[in-house]
Amino acid sequence: MKHRTLWVSVLALILAGVPTLAQQTILTVCAYEPPVSRISDLSARGSFNWYDGPYADDRNRAIAASLSADYGGLLSSEASAQQIDAHGEVRGGNAGWTLDLSGAGSLRAFLDGDLFGVGEIGIDASNETGLEVDLTAGVGKGRFRDVTPLAKAIRIQNGLLDLGELLAPVSNATLLAVAQILGTSGPTDDEKLVRVAERLLATELIRDEELDVRGLLEIEEVLAARDVARFCGSDIQARIGASAMLLPKWSLAATGILLVRYAVVPDPVTQIESNAEAKIRLARPEEMNLNADLSYARRLPDGWTARAEYRLRVDRMWTDRSATLLSHALSASLTTQILGGVGLSLVADAQYQTGDEEPTLSLAVHLEADLF
């Protein structure tokens, strides 16, 4: 009889705990679906290295400099999306200077759910390969969402838990409510700070039912952070159109483009992105240009950020009909903010392309400015 009573008690405890476990289901960052997604990010990096050896002539003199900038902008709603991406890079040294510019602007109109029609213009310019412009249109499926507000909401929760200001994790509904406050355009950061604090106090999980200075500063720091832009989603596009080589020699060809992109935020401080684009000339499908990127970024304790990126380029008779060029580029960096928007980075690079005897390796210290 005692054993039967014990088993009944254990079963009752398990059944009573099932609703609690359901309520504590972890809310993933990518589950956030804002009505409008707005992303705008501009960053710049630069480095300079100069060395002069013990000789009176220039035998051991070496100069190396680089400057690069990236811009990404997205405005997406239920019915349409606009996106602009651009990259520019200047590198120089004893052997000369190189300039590479690339950019693309697209407009998507959603037809049914995630199915969309798309038009895009792309530009590639280099003092080594020339100037090329693409104008294409087609169809695709998928979309990207700005999940930065929920990522910030979870960071605020975790920070307050670490400080002991929050007695337990808040509910998913509260996290989404805080994310909605953070994602609202119009109110200032101070106004958002007050509304977030009020929403958290309403949970009755704040210690002593009052946020002290440390808790308010934690929320303020997350609100002011510039390096937390996060987005999730994927899409695939098939487009056709025209590709015009303007320099060094004029040519025009019908072009087909297949593009696949993916982005995920496994936790509030991590962003993973990948994309692959294949471009062929329809009249000569053996002429192909393939670009693939994979990047990883993670915010570390004490203000540090770790980044890693791999880029693959395959030029199969696209620029030069008599040659196939293959290049690999791998980079990794550790960055921290030292003066407001100015950061200090330790960067390692490895590059290899067709014709090289061995990979080119470099280790440098960079200053980085995250403009907005």
Residue 272 token pair: 């993973």
On whether residue 9 sits in a domain, the answer given is yes
Please tell me whether residues 109 and 205 are part of one structural domain. Answer: no
Residue 121 token pair: 């213009």
On whether residue 234 sits in a domain, the answer given is yes
Please tell me whether residues 167 and 26 are part of one structural domain. Answer: yes
| Rounded-to-integer distance, Cα 325 and Cα 82, Å | 33
| Rounded-to-integer distance, Cα 260 and Cα 302, Å | 35
Please tell me whether residues 191 and 329 are part of one structural domain. Answer: no
Instruction: Report the 10 Å Cβ neighbour count for 154.
Output: 24
Is-contact 170 153, C-beta < 8 A? no
Q: Tell me the DSSP string of 329-362.
A: EEEEEEEEEEETTEEEEEEEEEEEETT-SS-EEE
Q: Tell me the DSSP string of 161-195.
A: HHHTSBSSPPPHHHHHHHHHHHH-SSS-HHHHHHH
Q: Give the model confidence (pLDDT) of 89-147 as tens digits.
A: 887 776 778 888 988 999 999 998 899 999 999 998 988 778 999 999 999 999 999 99
The CATH number assigned to the domain holding 283 equals 2.40.160.40
How confident is the model over 162-173, as a mean pLDDT?
90
Measured torsion, CA atoms of residues 331, 337, 340, 343, in degrees rounded to the nearest 10: -30
Q: Percentage of the chain surpassing pLDDT 70?
A: 87
On whether residue 36 sits in a domain, the answer given is no
Q: What angle do CA 101, 103, 104 make, to 5 degrees?
A: 165
Please tell me whether residues 329 and 181 are part of one structural domain. Answer: no
Is-contact 367 342, C-beta < 8 A? yes
Given this model, what pLDDT does residue 258 score? 95
| 67 vs 261: which has the higher pLDDT | 261
C-alpha distances in angstroms, 64 versus 51, 96, 345, 346, 359? 9, 10, 17, 16, 17
Sign of CA dihedral 7, 10, 11, 12: positive
How confident is the model over 48-69, as a mean pLDDT?
74
Last residue within a domain, chosen from 181, 208, 229:
229
Given this model, what pLDDT does residue 187 score? 85
Q: Is 52's pLDDT higher than 60?
A: yes
Please tell me whether residues 188 and 61 are part of one structural domain. Answer: no
Please tell me whether residues 256 and 295 are part of one structural domain. Answer: yes
Please tell me whether residues 171 and 269 are part of one structural domain. Answer: no
- The phi, psi pair for 57, rounded to 5°, reads -90, -165
Which structural domain, as residue segments, surrounds residue 201?
1-31+148-229
How confident is the model over 31-48, as a mean pLDDT?
81
Given this model, what pLDDT does residue 69 score? 86
Give 42's pLDDT tier (boundaries 50, 70, 90): confident
Given this model, what pLDDT does residue 300 score? 85
Beta strand 324-339 pairing with 360-370 = unpaired
Is 36 in a helix, a strand, or coil? coil
Please tell me whether residues 258 and 338 are part of one structural domain. Answer: yes
Last residue within a domain, chosen from 188, 213, 229:
229
Give 53's pLDDT tier (boundaries 50, 70, 90): low
Given this model, what pLDDT does residue 105 score? 93
Given this model, what pLDDT does residue 153 score? 92
| Rounded-to-integer distance, Cα 296 and Cα 267, Å | 12
On whether residue 125 sits in a domain, the answer given is yes
Given this model, what pLDDT does residue 38 score? 85
Residue 301 token pair: 């304790």
Given this model, what pLDDT does residue 1 score? 46
Partners of 232 in the β-ladder? 145
Q: Give the model confidence (pLDDT) of 257-310 as tens digits.
A: 999 999 999 988 899 999 999 999 998 888 899 999 999 999 888 778 898 999
| 23 vs 216: which has the higher pLDDT | 216
On whether residue 273 sits in a domain, the answer given is yes
| In the block, residue with structure tokens 């899409």 | 235
Given this model, what pLDDT does residue 66 score? 78
Please tell me whether residues 114 and 216 are part of one structural domain. Answer: no
Q: What is the mean pLDDT of the chain?
A: 84
Residue 36 token pair: 């409008």
Please tell me whether residues 135 and 60 are part of one structural domain. Answer: yes
Given this model, what pLDDT does residue 372 score? 59
On whether residue 104 sits in a domain, the answer given is yes
| Rounded-to-integer distance, Cα 336 and Cα 367, Å | 10
Q: Is 22's pLDDT higher than 60?
A: no
Of residues 230, 144, 142, the one with CA closest to residue 182: 230
Of residues 288, 281, 272, 240, the one with CA closest to residue 135: 240
Last residue within a domain, chosen from 196, 229, 262:
229
How confident is the model over 214-219, as a mean pLDDT?
90
pTM: 0.78
How many structural domains does the chain have?
2
| Rounded-to-integer distance, Cα 352 and Cα 246, Å | 28
Please tell me whether residues 192 and 282 are part of one structural domain. Answer: no
Q: Is 13's pLDDT higher than 60?
A: no
Please tell me whether residues 188 and 297 are part of one structural domain. Answer: no
